[in-house]
Structure 1
Amino acid sequence: MKNLLLSLAMLFVSASIFAQLYVTPNTTTSSDSYIYVQDEVLFVEQDINLVENTNDATTEASIYLRDQAQLVQGTTSSANSGTGYISVFQDSNSDAYDYNYWASPVGNPTSTGNRSFGIARVNDSISLTESQLANTTSGYNGWSSPLTVSTRWFFRWNPTTQRWLWNGTGNVVPVGYGFIMKGTDVTVHGDPFTDPQNQLYDFRGRPNNGDITVPVQAGVVATDGNTYNFTLTGNPYPSALDLKDVFYDADNTEIDSFRYWDEDRSINSHYYVDNKGGYGTWIPGPQADDLNPGVYTVPTFFNYDHSGNQGGSTGMMGAAFERRFAPIGQGFMVVANSTGSIIIKNVH
């Protein structure tokens, strides 16, 4: 198969297909090389090898995905490699008091293959190509200028214990696992896909690729006495994911349903007892009916006590969204009907 060596200053891509992709700075001219993909799909059948750009701080990434652009890789098991990384813009509709459920499309660009994710992969967008590492704070609230993320609310879910785990500042979120993070001060709670007032993040790292195995657990009695079957996962790729394909894959018989968190985003408090929220449930339509979007039951918002235990219903309901196709960065809970593992694949 042909291997593409990109040594141009930049390449604007429109629905391009490559067998393999190698992007490296031009050592002759001491200039950066990158691919800029805008509202198109970049397809690479095999592996991607990216070398970090170090000549110009405004063009450090090797691939830029902008305006709903996607990077899709084929069904080969080739591992991505290199010190370079892609840049993917992500939009948040949560303010400093509300959670977003995320799944990272990128990991730490060390060694080879898929790598874990951490807060160091989150950047503050300065321009279409330039970003700087987001600041962090252990305080209660994050803010937008400069982008500062509160690590106090940065958690992943432990399916074995059915409890939250604090992520801290290391690259500790395993590939395929989701995480939660509160937003900043700029959000007006509009449509996360179109509202320009939402917080913009730039996720930078090595693109995830290939089959990704995620353990799931069922029948765990948690410390509150309730039995849960949750695993926080999501879309691990820099492209859309068809959850109907995930659900009906023969390797994923453990999946019962998909859950999505929503909450009353008009409440500006960090205390459990002040907040109202709950999980909506999506179940796909019949396997043979490809036009069926499935059924999404919007969440009922519940009250919570001071320890975060669920109380009675508030009578309020969450918003309705199309859930079959998970966009880049979408995190969600998988409800398991048995203990085992599920596999998320490029073909989904």
Structure 2
Amino acid sequence: MQTLADASNTTTVTKTVSGVVNGGLHICQGSPSPLLTLNNYTGSIIRWEYAEAIPYVWRPIAHTGVTYQPGVLATSTSYRAVVKNGNCSEEFAIETRIDVDVNPPAPNLVSYTRPTCAIPTGSVVLDGLSGSGNLLQFDGTTVTNHAYSGNTITISGLALGKYKFAIDNNCTITYSDEIIIQANTWNGTNWSYGNGEPTLDDLVDFQEDYGFIKDINACSCTISNDAAVTIQHGKTLHVVKGIHVNYGTLTFADGASLLQESTDNNLNTGFISYKRRSLPIRQSDYVYWSTPVKDMKLIDVSPLTEYDKYYTHNGTEWVQVPRANTMIPGKGYIIRGPETYSRTDRFPFAAVFKGVPNNGDFTCEASGTDNFYLVGNPYPSALSADDFINGNSILEGTLYFWTHNTLAYLGGAYKYTRDDYASYNLSGGVGVGTVAPSGIGSPDPDNNSTEPKGYIAAGQAFLPEQLNLEL
């Protein structure tokens, strides 16, 4: 209201000032609305009004207070006050808006990609998004944020595990159902991928016991959940990368193999049990051994052998080795039969090598010209004799394998003969003839007269050249 005056008359002018409604903001669906306040107005508040969608259609609210508290809103709504001063016309305050942000539903899984040998992580495609915002990824421990724009998002690089996803708009968080990125997992009955046996492109995880008479192919192999897995005689576990015995056991029966394509000797983790069975032996017989695993002690190959009957060869002579020594991969050792064995009758003998399986390239000890060392297959699978000969140009080309056919104990000193070596070169193998236990009479059926076939067995030691040696 304004007053104008001259010397004789006074005129009063009345004006309405509509003011501004303050207090509007973003709220989450289901949350209480904020308190609204009309400020900077002149006149009387005759009512409040509200409108929802644009174009606005204003509807009256029978309220005349300076402040107004809306109830819980289901949709975004604008508010204004209507002000009138005296006989002046109504004026509308500048409105404010309460934006109701819906609680977003969980995103939808459109597809996912399994880990492979080339890409050992998985990925997912999610939809049900809108506009732009932030997507939450929860792995049971850590929440990771992903910015998105549009209706879909692809999230890559997911390690094996369980994940949930949610849209974050600062309101209620609703996570999706659990999405599992997993290896091809054995559950005791079936493989999780459901398409037959695993392939060399699959990450494989044994979570239950397995002992079928089958070959197994895998990119990598994990043993978990206390599973007991056995690769049976004559069968092969073929892996492109490593094996990981995290929690459980992995046993290779005699004659089973672990075939590894990678040459990384630090790739494998956890212990395996690798069983090797020699032909029947006597107490006096020596078996030529080499370890297919790391950190194997000589005594653990044959604990009941006399303490001083563990040897290797230094290129010139046989050298006794303390049985507490750790076997060196690629080096050969000879170990006499257990003291509990008969000196005349043969009995089966089995060794179990326990440790991380060997892999990669090995360099044996250097030898002078015309000297010879006892070497061995360092791998948990057969080694091609032809590849070994062709890959080592310093060899003269013939490999010798001990058969312990001849009875060493003849009632006096033990005596061994070099005639008990079978041989192999690029032309083929030559076996050892069967002889009677005493050298006369009928041949001993337990003798090994089979010629070498061109493969050096796991755990087998041998001589790259014939040695005229006697113990």
TM range (shorter): 0.5 to 0.7
Does the CA-based 8 Å contact 1:90-1:329 persist in structure 2? no
Aligned residue among 418, 423, 427 for 1:282: 423
Residue 209 of structure 2 corresponds to residue 22 of structure 1: no
In the other structure, the counterpart of 2:137 is none
Residue 149 of structure 2 corresponds to residue 9 of structure 1: no
Structure 1: 4+ residue segments shifted above 6 A = 187-190
Does the CA-based 8 Å contact 1:281-1:298 persist in structure 2? yes
In the other structure, the counterpart of 2:37 is none
Q: Secondary structure at the match of 2:364?
A: strand
Residue 372 of structure 2 corresponds to residue 254 of structure 1: no
- Provide the rounded CA distance (Å) in 2 between the counterparts of 1:270 and 1:23: 51
Within a 5 Å distance, the mapping from 1:301-340 to structure 2 comes to 320-323=449-452, 324-335=454-465
Aligned residue among 275, 285, 288 for 1:88: 275
Deviation of 1:186 after TM superposition, in Å, equals 5.5
> Could you give the per-residue CA deviations for residues 16-45 of structure 1, whole angstroms, max 9, x where no partner exists?
111112223x2xxxxx22321113111011
In the other structure, the counterpart of 1:151 is 307
- Provide the rounded CA distance (Å) in 1 between the counterparts of 2:411 and 2:458: 27
- Provide the rounded CA distance (Å) in 2 between the counterparts of 1:86 and 1:262: 25
Q: How many residues matched?
A: 253
Deviation of 1:298 after TM superposition, in Å, equals 4.2
Aligned residue among 35, 57, 61 for 2:229: 35
Q: Residue 297 of structure 2 aligns to which amino acid in structure 1?
A: G
Between 1:181-190 and 1:44-53, the stretch displaced more is 181-190
Higher relative contact order (CA 8 A, sep 6+): 1
Q: Residue 285 of structure 1 aligns to which amino acid in structure 2?
A: L
Deviation of 1:283 after TM superposition, in Å, equals 4.1
Deviation of 1:275 after TM superposition, in Å, equals 0.9
Residue 383 of structure 2 corresponds to residue 241 of structure 1: yes
Ranges in structure 1 where 5+ consecutive residues have no aligned partner: 27-31, 54-61, 109-116, 123-133, 137-147, 191-196, 220-227, 287-293, 302-313, 337-348
Within a 5 Å distance, the mapping from 1:198-237 to structure 2 comes to 198-219=348-369, 229-237=371-379
Does the CA-based 8 Å contact 1:80-1:207 persist in structure 2? no
> Could you give the per-residue CA deviations for residues 99-151 of structure 1, whole angstroms, max 9, x where no partner exists?
1111121222xxxxxxxx312543xxxxxxxxxxx6x4xxxxxxxxxxx2323
Residue 226 of structure 2 corresponds to residue 97 of structure 1: no
Deviation of 1:264 after TM superposition, in Å, equals 5.5
TM-score, normalised with respect to structure 1: 0.62
Q: CA RMSD in A?
A: 3.4
- Provide the rounded CA distance (Å) in 1 between the counterparts of 2:264 and 2:448: 38
Between 1:1-10 and 1:96-105, the stretch displaced more is 1-10
Q: Label 1:327 to 1:186 Cα distance change in 2 as closer, same or farther (>3 A).
A: farther
In the other structure, the counterpart of 1:304 is none
- Provide the rounded CA distance (Å) in 2 between the counterparts of 1:255 and 1:282: 14
Q: Residue 22 of structure 1 aligns to which amino acid in structure 2?
A: T
Aligned residue among 238, 255, 264 for 1:77: 264
Deviation of 1:270 after TM superposition, in Å, equals 9.6
Q: Secondary structure at the match of 1:91?
A: strand
Ranges in structure 2 where 5+ consecutive residues have no aligned partner: 1-116, 121-182, 184-202, 467-471
Aligned residue among 231, 245, 259 for 1:50: 245
TM-score, normalised with respect to structure 2: 0.47
Q: Secondary structure at the match of 1:150?
A: coil
Deviation of 1:242 after TM superposition, in Å, equals 1.5
Q: Label 1:16 to 1:262 Cα distance change in 2 as closer, same or farther (>3 A).
A: closer
Aligned residue among 178, 183, 191 for 2:337: 183
- Provide the rounded CA distance (Å) in 2 between the counterparts of 1:283 and 1:8: 43
Q: Secondary structure at the match of 1:12?
A: coil
Residue 399 of structure 2 corresponds to residue 268 of structure 1: no
Deviation of 1:189 after TM superposition, in Å, equals 6.7
- Provide the rounded CA distance (Å) in 1 between the counterparts of 2:293 and 2:395: 24
Deviation of 1:297 after TM superposition, in Å, equals 6.5
Does the CA-based 8 Å contact 2:294-2:329 persist in structure 1? yes
Deviation of 1:5 after TM superposition, in Å, equals 6.1
> Could you give the per-residue CA deviations for residues 207-261 of structure 1, whole angstroms, max 9, x where no partner exists?
1112222134133xxxxxxxx5211112222211210121112xx1011121233
Q: Secondary structure at the match of 1:213?
A: coil
- Provide the rounded CA distance (Å) in 2 between the counterparts of 1:102 and 1:169: 13
In the other structure, the counterpart of 1:310 is none
Q: Secondary structure at the match of 1:100?
A: strand
Q: Secondary structure at the match of 1:244?
A: helix
- Provide the rounded CA distance (Å) in 1 between the counterparts of 2:299 and 2:269: 18
Within a 5 Å distance, the mapping from 1:291-306 to structure 2 comes to 294-296=428-430, 298=432
Q: Residue 218 of structure 2 aligns to which amino acid in structure 1?
A: F
Does the CA-based 8 Å contact 1:38-1:66 persist in structure 2? yes
- Provide the rounded CA distance (Å) in 2 between the counterparts of 1:151 and 1:80: 34
- The structure number with the bigger radius of gyration is 2
